[in-house]
Amino acid sequence: MAVQTSVNSVYDDFDEEDGPTIFKRSKQTAKQSPLNSEVKKLSSQRHDGHSGRQVSDLPASNGQNSCLQKGKMVTSNKASPVKSPAAIPKASTSSVKASPEKSPIANPKTLNTLDGKAKHSAERNTPASVKEEKKSFAENGDSEDSEDDKPLSTRLKGNSNHTHKGLSKPAFTTSLPSVSKSIVKTCSEESDDEVPLSSRFPLKSNVGTSSSKPYNSGDKKPLGSTIHRNGSTLRDKQQKSSMLTGKRPLDKANSSEQSSVKKTKLSDTQTPMKIKQASVKAEQKADDDDHIPIAQRIKSSTSLNKSSFTKQKPLKVGSASFKKTTKMSKNAAKNSKYIKSTKMTPSSGDGQKKWTNLVHNGVIFPPPYKPHRVKMLYNGKPVDLTADQEEVATMYAVMKDTDYMQKDKFKENFWTDWRKLLGKNHVIQSLEKCDFTPIYDWCQQEKEKKKQMSTEEKKALKEDKLKQEEKYMWAIVDGVKEKVGNFRVEPPGLFRGRGEHPKMGKLKKRIRPSDITINIGKDAPIPECPIPGESWKEVRHDNTVTWLAFWNDPINPKEFKYVFLAASSTLKGQSDKEKYEKARMLKDYIENIRAAYTKNFTSKDVMKRQIAVATYLIDKLALRAGNEKDDDEADTVGCCTLKVENVKAVAPNTLEFNFLGKDSIRYENKVEVELPVYKAIIQFQAGKRGSDDLFDQLDTSKLNAHLKELMPGLTAKVFRTYNASITLDEMLNRETRNGDVAEKIVVYQHANKEVAIICNHQRSVSKSHSQQMSKLNEKISQLQSLLKELKTDLDRARKGKPPLKNADGKRRNLAPEAIEKKIAQTNVKIEKMERDMKTKEDLKTVALGTSKINYLDPRITVAWCKRHEVPIEKIFNKSLLAKFAWAMDVDPDFRF
């Protein structure tokens, strides 16, 4: 149902800020979601006390309505083709369903004794994970030759040759005191901006649990000496093992090698496992830590029934970082009448209320197409096109320099769609005879013109754009002003699918208001449709979802494009935090999970065996789950969809993986696996063709259903988060030495790189890479020649002889001391350049950002920065600081 709107912008009177504020004052309204209650329960007990529990009982405030313009409300739920979830509150979730009663293993707290058989079985099958390699990473992790041509996944190796810049900022030695009380306000309420933040945010009372437990307590031994291995590859065998600490160790699954420590008891996977974790932990404590899996050694810091809820230390105030962030927060609060919150709005579970009041201005549309009237050629002759035809021709013309132009599918799809616009009787009958060069040239000229604009012109243009867009940039969620992520509707264009996408080149039609469904609070004014005379497709008031608007993807109408809040928003932050809490929870379960799947490698039940091997691969290699894909998508795979041809078994126990994963990024890896896994893979392949599914009995829903029996809320992707974060945590703590900030940053980058390699985060090599390398090489040679000359000069000067002419034909008449100084300087320059080159070469295909944004618990980074006095701004840029605002007040002792 179309909805007419007539309300002015609700933000007309906003006093805007420059950008997101990192630390916000809070307002809690939505109720705690029972969805992830298990996780949340843990989360609330385990760490920084910042999770908003203190305020979750506060009544929702509608106060903001008083200061917002209200418009005529037109609901259209009736007409909605889709049932509004809001109308049918969902009561439970899978996490809740996976209750401890159903699956005792799911909760270490419901520890039961095992029956004798299971106990015996569990003891026999204790995984190799209890064996740990003690080789330190430092021993063998560094300085290998460049491996650019190898996929990331095969490059699990150390390299500490990272460059760093000089650092001048004071150390990040303090953290914000956490917020313990919500500040429920309406926009008319008085702000306490004038009160120092430290006093505005009283100390937490329930912090210092697991997460804030000193990482070395009870585990004094350096982690580096007690590390597990995971995912080692053949090629980096020598240096492997040390870095992938909490991850599954490779091979040596021989139970005879296992620790004599009394292990956690397991049933088989059909029977829910019963864990006697607490007692196991106690017993293990007495033993040498070396034989205890990381997950258990750190357990004391995550123990659920831990009673030592210590009060968080008041933190030192004074670091530049602290002051900076605090200032930002204060300014933001001052400048806005809307509340900024550091607290998390609870409830991110499906079907649960995400917000009470939601106000926003809808979306902004791209400007209409302005015809340029440059004529393309057909058979060498200029052709007249209508504006619509010309628009699509221009989309194609600008693709000239891209790889898509080499792809027949792209051209074919474009031609099909463009031809529909041209009509059957158009003069243009064949794409081959088309010459788009005039249009391409015109576009290049326009680009150049834009480039040549003066700074003032550019600035004016930018300001103009900002002015137009400003009102769409913000939403008010329960009285808190939050940034909107993607408020711009996607412009029309040609679909640029990745890899060999069957739909590449198809026309993405222009999205109109009548394509867009708006989601907004019941009491909020409906956003005015920015295109006069048009109206929204529908307006909903569904507070169980977080999207503000959506439209159907023009390429695949079954799918949707959503407008969400920005990453820095409270809602996103809360869900981020829950994600990491879930991954931390896995730490408590991992040993038993590994034991369970290890046992099932040899199960008679094929499905069980496949689940076991798939889980092993997901755990060990950080593979993605691998959902089924339609024929109209690129042919990529994940773990469950691996084909027989993607895995080659090489005797005695090596598997060679070679497949296209997400975004058609190749995953290539040679891995030594436990013998039962190797044998199982051979069995799964037997009698199948290369294109057949390796795991024919398995799909992601079966796998995840099984994982949920082992831990509430556990899915395949949690392993990736877990393995990434624990790797960072352990590498940072193993490798950070006393040194300057620059050296510490190198350690961080090194750890970050390892995670990126584990996750196979790749990037394409920049076009100018080889050119840049040649330049650097050239400079190094020049410096080396200079060095040679200087040495000759020095030699002669010491003997009292006059200097020879240098390459420029000039003489350097310097005292020996001065020459020595110059030699030293040149050496430093050469070293730095060589280091830069190595880093550049090393990282040319590694994307560090993805893991930082999505997989590494920011609390690890923040706590490490605090412990080692590294300014957080050296690691997180402005966006990440905003995104991870919720993590900033973590205790310095936090360990993942």
Nearer to DNA by Cβ, of 33 and 191: the residue is 33
- Active site (annotated) includes residue 378: no
Among 806, 802, 768, 773, smallest CA distance to 790 is for: 806
Site for DNA in 243-302 (CB under 7 A): none
Q: Interacting stretch for DNA, rule CB under 7 A, among 316-324, 370-378, 428-436, 711-719?
A: 711-719
| Residue in the block written with tokens 């006393």 | 738
Binds DNA by CB under 7 A, chosen from 132, 576, 672, 674: 576
Taking phi over 0 as left and psi of -120 to 50 as alpha, with beta for the rest, 159 belongs to beta
- Inter-axis angle of helices 700-710 and 570-600, to 10 degrees? 90
DSSP for 804-832, please give it: PB-TTS-B----HHHHHHHHHHHHHHHHH
* Residue 568 interacting with DNA (CB under 7 A): no
Length of the chain counted residue by residue? 896
CA distance 380 to 376: 9
Judge whether 39 and 354 are in contact, CB under 8 Å. no
Among 574, 345, 352, 326, smallest CA distance to 476 is for: 345
Nearer to DNA by Cβ, of 558 and 799: the residue is 558
Binds DNA by CB under 7 A, chosen from 721, 725, 752, 861: 721
Judge whether 32 and 51 are in contact, CB under 8 Å. no
CB-based contacts of 163: which residues, under 8 Å, 6+ apart? 832, 835, 836, 839
Judge whether 426 and 410 are in contact, CB under 8 Å. no
Nearer to DNA by Cβ, of 472 and 678: the residue is 472
DSSP for 749-763, please give it: HHHHHHHHHHTT-B-
The active-site residue out of 11, 215, 589, 855 is 855
CA distance 229 to 471: 51
Least distance between DNA and beta carbon 892 (Å)? 23
Site for DNA in 477-536 (CB under 7 A): 486, 488, 490-491, 493, 495-499, 501, 508
* Residue 658 interacting with DNA (CB under 7 A): no
* Residue 78 interacting with DNA (CB under 7 A): no
Least distance between DNA and beta carbon 576 (Å)? 7
Least distance between DNA and beta carbon 211 (Å)? 19
Site for DNA in 833-862 (CB under 7 A): 836, 840, 847, 849-851, 853-855
Binds DNA by CB under 7 A, chosen from 521, 626, 803, 858: 626
Site for DNA in 163-182 (CB under 7 A): 165
Judge whether 857 and 755 are in contact, CB under 8 Å. no
Binds DNA by CB under 7 A, chosen from 761, 859, 866, 868: 761
Binds DNA by CB under 7 A, chosen from 468, 627, 770, 781: 627
CA distance 837 to 834: 5
Site for DNA in 399-418 (CB under 7 A): 402
SS3 category, 381: strand
Binds DNA by CB under 7 A, chosen from 771, 781, 784, 813: 771
Site for DNA in 776-835 (CB under 7 A): 779
Nearer to DNA by Cβ, of 287 and 633: the residue is 633
* Residue 661 interacting with DNA (CB under 7 A): yes
Taking phi over 0 as left and psi of -120 to 50 as alpha, with beta for the rest, 656 belongs to beta
Binding mask 14-43 for DNA (x = CB under 7 A): ---------------------x--------
Binding mask 179-218 for DNA (x = CB under 7 A): ----------------------------------------
Q: Interacting stretch for DNA, rule CB under 7 A, among 292-300, 438-446, 658-666, 747-755?
A: 658-666
Binds DNA by CB under 7 A, chosen from 189, 350, 668, 743: 350
SS3 category, 652: coil
Least distance between DNA and beta carbon 307 (Å)? 31
Site for DNA in 88-117 (CB under 7 A): 90, 92-94, 97
Nearer to DNA by Cβ, of 233 and 704: the residue is 704
Nearer to DNA by Cβ, of 701 and 813: the residue is 701
β-sheet with 358-360: strand ranges across:
358-360, 474-477, 480-483
Among 428, 352, 353, 357, smallest CA distance to 389 is for: 428
Nearer to DNA by Cβ, of 208 and 246: the residue is 246
* Residue 754 interacting with DNA (CB under 7 A): no
* Residue 560 interacting with DNA (CB under 7 A): yes
Site for DNA in 432-471 (CB under 7 A): 458, 462
Least distance between DNA and beta carbon 705 (Å)? 8
Phi, psi of 481 (to 5 degrees): -80, 120
CA angle 266, 267, 272 (to 5 degrees): 105
* Residue 553 interacting with DNA (CB under 7 A): yes
Nearer to DNA by Cβ, of 511 and 863: the residue is 511
CB-based contacts of 637: which residues, under 8 Å, 6+ apart? 626, 643, 646, 659, 660, 661
Amino acid at the residue 342: T
Instruction: Cite the active site residues.
Output: 855
